[in-house]
Chain A
Amino acid sequence: MSDLAIDIRNVAKRYAEHVAVRDLSLQVPRGAVYGLLGPNGAGKTTTIRMILNIIVPDSGTITLFGQPHRTAGITDRIGYLPEERGLYKKMQVRRVLRFLAELKGVSGPVADRRIEEWMERLQLKTPEKDWGLAKVDELSRGMQQKVQFIGTLLHDPDLVILDEPFSGLDPINAQALKDTIVELKARGKTVIFSTHLMDNAERLCDSVCIIAHGDKVLDGDVGTVKASAGMRNVALSVGGEARSLLGPILADRTLVKRADDQNRFHEIELAAGADPQLLLRRVIETGAPVHRFELMQPSLHQIFLEKVGATGVEEGMSGQG
């Protein structure tokens, strides 16, 4: 038994107009929560579709649980929530779920029992109302997302792949999703999710892989990735009216390499060789009341910006990250 859930080696996929994935290799350990990060159009969805054998790679190999990914029946061990969600609109909710479970090889009675459990757990079945009897298009958007989510997990998959799972979720559903991911990990399942929202990834992921333009930029477990970037970041917050006093300090390139105004605080990357204590002294000298001064690891967001650069950002990061 391999201890890798997914082992992708030198995979490439080209279309007539562009290269979707260029020579990608990545390894996902069993039992990890793994983030596939990258701007829109980076090749995340193409990679996921290749893992699921929906698209055939031009070259390279994909191994799932130590077996070639085209082994018959191996996709039955994967649960997949695609970015573009949808269900049969005119079908009864229970029948849709049963169909999805049976497609994965779950027998009818087992599927029915799990459907009841999940529907009660996600409040689709309450003493007052059983939404399982309704047609899909009678459900609200949020409820449809719950149904889709149940459909992803009904066959108790060993590997769960979630493509942009948080997009379009209201806070309650997002919380339910987060709880479920944590629970899946606790049960030894492997979870991969793609996102272009770094905050989610930072909170949830054990390991990440950042890809841009079809290339891997970096990968590894989050702690290592952040540690290798060094403790060169400072979170600085001063009293509201004193913000303008910081201007000259932040512009000093011997001290500050880059400053990112996060509104509530500035995330500051120190210049090479600069002393954080000197920065603190300079701020106090301005007379500004310091609310927060914290030495910290850079956020994934910062690392992403640094590694991918502005070119990677322009396609999808702006305004959403």
Chain B
Amino acid sequence: MARVDMRKLGVVFKREYLERVRSRWFLIGTLLGPVFFAMITVVPILISARTKTSADLANIAILDATASGVGERVAGALRQRYPASRPPEVRNLDAASIPREEDRATRDVQDKRIRGYFVIDSSTVAGRSVRYAGRNASSLSDVENLTAVIRQQVLAQRLSAAGIDAERVTQLTGPRLQVSTEKIGDKGREKGSGMGNVIFGYVVALLLYMMIAIYGQAILRGVMEEKTTRVAEVVVSSVSTDTLLAGKIVGVGLVAITQVLAWVALSLSFAVYLLPSLLTRLGTPAAGAGSGVPAGGGAPTATALAAALPSLDLGTGLALLAFFVLGFIFYASLFAAVGAMVNNQEDVQQAQMPVMLLLVSSVIFMTPIMTNPGSGLARTMSLLPFSAPILMPLRMTLVAVPWYELAGSLAGVTLACLAAIWLSARIYRVGLLMYGKRPSLGELARWVRYAG
């Protein structure tokens, strides 16, 4: 088995690494990567910032069927809070005419005279429900802001109905509470916000998946190229297939790491030097970017941004690297085996399907695990060797994972890695010089057996 010649491994590694890093596509990918990440991080901020600054948030109709004055209270609060917006219009009516008035208000929205309308009835005053209909009903921040106002005013109404004087009511309901979140880990309170961790965990998991998928397939294509151009035969007359495979995986893996490091460096310099001034120019609160809490104002500074970034201690960093390295080796060797099986591009799609399914199945579970990182599903998926390299890092950034789960997960991935290397090295050894049709499962089993 151990037929790895370190000097030759170095030669193979050097070729794989330099040829790929020198290629035009690597340069393009490295430069465009941060642009892509900026798009998926900054653009949503800009979009939500634009909806927040939409001057016309208060330009709505309030259909009040309660004759309690809640409608006027809400309108007053909205006027006060959004002075730049066109003021809301209160339509007092009786319960029986609600359907007719709703139709009229709907037409007003359609004709763009107003953005939407509230329907306030007896159940609203009772503190149960209120309805909003409007063009911006799907904008989370708009609805959140409107809801905050109406909750506060219904509460105020109920307090004064209970006999508390008006000034006291204003005093009591006045504060607009802002929630800032903080994560607690094994070492106690950590710097950085919970929301920042979610975004960070998501980006890390997505990055792990992308790098494994992109560079795993690069290995597949590389192996197939060596096979179809027949250069493989010259190469394996000089170097054992085990050495060749190892050099290839190490070389391509380091290309992936190089690219990620370049991305991080580029993105950080973008975030530190360009983003603050960009946000200032757009007049957007930078603090909202990382924390996800709609902040009223606040100076957009690099420090605020840095505070929004999650903390990453050395241990977590090393664990992330370990998961990337092991996950990459696991999938890369499987992709290499697929590359050694196929003879043309048409066969690739079908032959790589099982490997892709394993990889994609980890990504499918990203969202449920993000919403509930302590669930049984999350624990299971972060222990299974094929999904652990992507999902364990995700969980680690969200919650404090017990050390024994982490150790178990790493041990499992390591074992799976060894198995994948063993299997792939055998398929690779035979497949690389085997032309003709794609092998059946039975033939594959025979390859594995007689590759001594």
Q: CB within 8 Å of B: which residues of A?
A: 16, 49, 52, 54, 56, 72, 75-76, 78, 80-82, 84-91, 95, 99-100, 102-105, 148, 151-152
Contact = CB atoms under 8 A, between A and B. Distances in A.
A88 B231 contact: yes
B28 to A, nearest CB: 16
Given A88-B229, A91-B19, A99-B15, A72 B234 contact: no
Nearest to B244: A103
A85 B14 CA distance: 23
Given A91-B19, A99-B15, A103-B11, A80 B231 contact: no
Given A88-B231, A103-B238, A105-B7, 8 more contacts: A56-B452, A75-B237, A80-B234, A82-B234, A82-B237, A87-B234, A88-B225, A103-B8
B237 A84 contact: no
Interface string B203-235: 000000000000000000000011001111111
B239 interface: yes
Given A54-B433, A88-B229, A72 B5 contact: yes
A82 B11 contact: no
26 contacts: A54-B233, A54-B237, A76-B238, A78-B237, A80-B237, A81-B234, A84-B233, A86-B229, A86-B230, A86-B231, A86-B234, A87-B229, A88-B19, A88-B226, A88-B231, A89-B225, A90-B23, A91-B19, A95-B15, A95-B19, A103-B11, A103-B235, A103-B239, A104-B238, A151-B234, A152-B234
Contact of B236 (A54, A91, A99, A148): A54
A89 B229 contact: yes
Contacts of A78: 237
Contacts of B5: 72
Nearest to B227: A86
A96 B224 CA distance: 18
Contact of B237 (A52, A85, A99): A52
B191 interface: no
A255 B15 CA distance: 66
Interface residues of B, number: 25
Interface in B232-251: 232-239
Nearest to B452: A56
B135 interface: no
A76 B12 CA distance: 15
Contact of B234 (A76, A100, A105): A100
A88 B222 CA distance: 10
Interface string B278-293: 0000000000000000
Contacts of A99: 11, 15
A85 B230 contact: yes
Contacts of A81: 234
Q: B12, B15, B235: which has the most chain A beta carbons within 10 Å?
A: B15
Contacts of B15: 95, 99
Contacts of A100: 234, 238
A87 B237 contact: no
Contacts of A72: 5
B446 interface: yes
Contacts of B237: 52, 54, 75, 78, 80, 82
Nearest to B430: A55
Interface string B2-24: 00010110011011000100010
B450 to A, nearest CB: 8
Nearest to B236: A54
Nearest to B23: A90
B81 to A, nearest CB: 62
B430 to A, nearest CB: 9
A96 to B, nearest CB: 9
A148 B233 CA distance: 12
Contacts of A88: 19, 225-226, 229, 231
Interface in B12-41: 12, 14-15, 19, 23
Contacts of B19: 88, 90-91, 95
Nearest to B432: A54
A16 B233 CA distance: 22
B437 to A, nearest CB: 13
Contacts of B446: 16
A82 B230 contact: yes
Contacts of A82: 230, 233-234, 237
Q: B14, B229, B234, B235: which has the most chain A beta carbons within 10 Å?
A: B234
B238 A75 contact: yes
Contacts of B229: 86-89
A-B pairs with the 3 shortest C-beta distances? A86-B230, A86-B229, A84-B230
Nearest to A85: B230
A88 B22 CA distance: 15
Contacts of A95: 15, 19
Contacts of A105: 7
A116 to B, nearest CB: 20
Contacts of B11: 99, 102-103
Contacts of A90: 19, 23
A80 B19 CA distance: 24
Contacts of B235: 103
Q: A75, A84, A151: which has the most chain B beta carbons within 10 Å?
A: A84
Contacts of B12: 103
A129 B452 CA distance: 47
A49 B234 CA distance: 11
B426 to A, nearest CB: 12
Contacts of B238: 75-76, 80, 100, 103-104
A273 to B, nearest CB: 51
Contacts of B23: 90
B255 to A, nearest CB: 15
A75 B235 CA distance: 11
A104 B5 CA distance: 12
Contacts of B433: 49, 54
B278 to A, nearest CB: 39
A80 B233 CA distance: 9
Contacts of A151: 234
A195 B439 CA distance: 30
A154 B238 CA distance: 13
Nearest to A48: B237
Nearest to B229: A86
